[in-house]
A and B are shown apart, each in its own frame.
Chain A
Amino acid sequence: MPGTRIRAAVGLAVARLRHDRTRTVLAVLGVTLAVVATTLLGSLGVGVAETGQQKFDAADRDLWISGGPTRIQPGTIGGFDTGIVDAHNVSRTLTQRDTINTAAPLLFQTVYVGADPDSLDTVVAVGARSSGGLALTSGDGFGPDTAFYNEGAYNGTPARKLVVGTQLQARFNTSNGDQLHVGGTVVDARRTTYTVAGTSSTFTRFLNTPTVSIPLAELQAMTGNANTDRVSLITVDVADSADTAAVADRLEAEYPQYTVRTNTEQLQAILAERIILLAAGVVLVGLAVLSGIALTVNLLTLLVLQEQATLAAIRAVGVSRFVVVGIVGTQGLCYGILGAAVGLLVTLPASVALNYAASWLVGFDGLVQLTPGVLAAGAAIAILAGVSSALVAGWRAASIEPLAVLQR
């Protein structure tokens, strides 16, 4: 008997959904928006974290030593903070340890670059002791900067070689052996040329911006960081036999003025610097979810209020509260189930489109990564919306007293 009544209530609810198509479409649309907002932003969050972790893993470095955040510093040549001093000595000291394979100083600065001295672009230049850490797609790169830098003196013969990032290579259409004007100032750039010695996507993909890689000492001299041997970062490759965390703790104790981070900590620090963006995303999802729930609850509750007298009459002829609530509640649950289905179906092509757009706009592939957890969260949001509307509308339907309504 209860089974027959439940089946009948479900059947009647479905008939009502099919009849009230506009209402059904609107309610399902509300739930769908909530699901899609959740799944896409969740997938983006997962993708950003995964991609960031992959980038750090691909860099094959274990620790990142910095003198603070690498912020833009207006009004200076180079334009970025350089927090580490005496970088060559510090790197050499670190590399001499048994627990460390290599310590590589890196300098990030903005320089002027152009094939034509009268048409220069500002580009991020990465100073590295050699191009050995870069994945070159063409050319031989440049060797150690010892030809120019010697025991604290920046007085040798500069190599004047650089490796262009893939974005810049496409922009200038350069080939190995071509000359590019490079300088910390426009004047310097017009009178200084570097030879293209290779192409690499390593830093372009890591920083997601056009880059050139230049011997560290030459970039330091070019941007006024030679006096105190300043760099932005020292990256450390820890020996396989050593414990990375223990090495990090020891370095932090020895260099309290610097911040030592593991790959994961460095990624978290980068994400934390974008906390407002992350918070805005979370708020947007929250609003979408609340709007979806409010829309479905509102539509179903309004339906109950519209039909209050009819539902009272049905109760009056002997139909129980159980059946009336069953019909209304099933409608709410159907909104949730349909919203989940449509939302998850829409998520699949939307994530592909978003990935395509992200790849085209910012150069990162696979930035939106759908995971079972994210899809489950989207479905849970839809079910929450359905259950909420079922509970609220069901409660309204259950509270209808036939006599009280029919006496009005």
Chain B
Amino acid sequence: MSPPAEDAVLSCHAVTRTYTRGHQHTRWRSNGASDRPDVTALEDIDLTVEPGEILGIKGPSGSGKSTLLHLLGALDTPTSGTVHITGRPTTDLTARERARLRLDSIGIVFQRFYLLSSLPALSNVALPLVERGVPKSKRHDQASAVLHRVGLGQRQSHTPGQLSGGEQQRVAIARALVTDPAIIIADEPTGELDTETGARILELFEAAAADDTAVVLASHDEPTLAIADRVLELRDGERIDA
């Protein structure tokens, strides 16, 4: 196993991810056998991300962007190669340890916000702090402070249904920032927003990077990728930017 690059908060070395077709989620085939070939979603990827850096990932649908984000976000492990997050190799971790790593070091922002519709913005943002066992008053103080940072100080008690799409994404970003992560992983964060709202969302990522948080943005939208310090381009699971 290769050691992580010095100063890198995130690094990949020779990462390959292969999926066995017809094996996962195929209930009618109990023995796991498949007559279809395996699919290589990513092949031999090397990259490093340093604190405060914004890395853009671009590529068409099916190019492996989401697969790479899942590996960088410790949601998945590579078939071969290594991924180090804040110096820890994810391959050696159990699912529970990876969940703890995500809670401690990674903030994840999704294209579709994924907020609990029945809870106010404050409670949605404070959810990760629940897992950390932070007492209620402190939890709410921290969540409130982050909501102020993303410009929603006056909308804390509003439920997602009472917020616009842009505001919901701000809440989702606040949820990612509330644990003060070393890395933010964002998958198409402006995909469901208009240009003006998307631009304001990107300012939040720039602000996070200015605070030394590493940001990895996957998008096929050029204006979104324009804030990146570097852009990694994928096609058919391989880097083509090098």
Inter-chain contact A319/B128, CB cutoff 8 Å: yes
Q: Which of A16, A315, A316 has the most CB of B within 10 A?
A: A316
Q: Which of A2, A312, A314, A320 has the most CB of B within 10 A?
A: A314
Q: Which of B24, B112, B128 makes the CB contact (< 8 A) with A309?
A: B112
Q: Which of B116, B123, B133 makes the CB contact (< 8 A) with A310?
A: B116
Inter-chain contact B127/A1, CB cutoff 8 Å: no
Inter-chain contact B115/A317, CB cutoff 8 Å: no
Q: Which residue of B lies closest to A17 (CB)?
A: B118
Interface digits, A319-335 against B, CB 8 Å rule (1 contact, 0 not)?
11001000000000000
Complex Cα distance, B181 from A268, in Å, reads 73
When distances are taken between beta carbons in the complex, the residues of chain B under 8 Å from A7 are 136
Q: Which residue of B lies closest to A307 (CB)?
A: B116
A5 and B131 contact, Cβ closer than 8 Å, known pairs A12-B119, A310-B116: yes
Q: How many chain A residues touch the partner (CB < 8 A)?
A: 31
Distance (Å) between the CB of B63 and the closest chain A CB?
A: 15
A348 within 8 A of B: no
When distances are taken between beta carbons in the complex, the residues of chain A under 8 Å from B88 are none
* CB contact list, B138-190 vs A, under 8 A: 139, 159, 175-176, 179
Interface digits, A271-312 against B, CB 8 Å rule (1 contact, 0 not)?
000000000000000000000000000000000000101101
Q: Which of A1, A2, A16, A320 makes the CB contact (< 8 A) with B99?
A: A320
Interface digits, B62-78 against A, CB 8 Å rule (1 contact, 0 not)?
00001000100101100
Chain B interface extent, by class: 35 or more
Inter-chain contact A19/B75, CB cutoff 8 Å: no
Mark the stretch among B103-111, B191-199, B200-208 that contacts chain A: B103-111
Inter-chain contact A4/B128, CB cutoff 8 Å: no
Inter-chain contact A318/B116, CB cutoff 8 Å: no
Mark the stretch among A75-83, A200-208, A400-408 that contacts chain B: A400-408
When distances are taken between beta carbons in the complex, the residues of chain A under 8 Å from B131 are 5, 318-320, 323
A9 within 8 A of B: yes
When distances are taken between beta carbons in the complex, the residues of chain B under 8 Å from A314 are 114, 116, 127
A118 within 8 A of B: no
Complex Cα distance, B63 from A305, in Å, reads 30
When distances are taken between beta carbons in the complex, the residues of chain A under 8 Å from B96 are 320
When distances are taken between beta carbons in the complex, the residues of chain B under 8 Å from A312 are 114
Q: Which of A11, A307, A313, A404 has the most CB of B within 10 A?
A: A313
Which DSSP category, helix, strand, loop or mixed, fits chain A's interface? helix
Inter-chain contact B133/A318, CB cutoff 8 Å: no
Inter-chain contact A403/B108, CB cutoff 8 Å: no
Inter-chain contact A319/B159, CB cutoff 8 Å: no
A310 and B115 contact, Cβ closer than 8 Å, known pairs A318-B99, A403-B70, A406-B110: yes
- Nearest 8 A/B pairs, CB to CB: A318-B103, A313-B114, A1-B133, A19-B118, A318-B102, A8-B130, A16-B118, A4-B133
Could you jot down 24 A-B contacts, CB within 8 Å? A7-B136, A8-B130, A8-B139, A9-B130, A15-B119, A19-B159, A20-B118, A309-B112, A310-B114, A313-B110, A314-B114, A316-B102, A316-B108, A317-B102, A317-B103, A317-B107, A317-B176, A318-B102, A320-B99, A320-B131, A323-B131, A403-B70, A406-B70, A407-B70
Sample of 17 further A-B pairs with CB below 8 A, known A15-B120, A309-B112? A1-B133, A4-B133, A4-B135, A8-B139, A12-B130, A16-B118, A307-B116, A313-B108, A313-B110, A313-B114, A315-B99, A316-B73, A316-B75, A317-B107, A317-B108, A319-B128, A403-B76
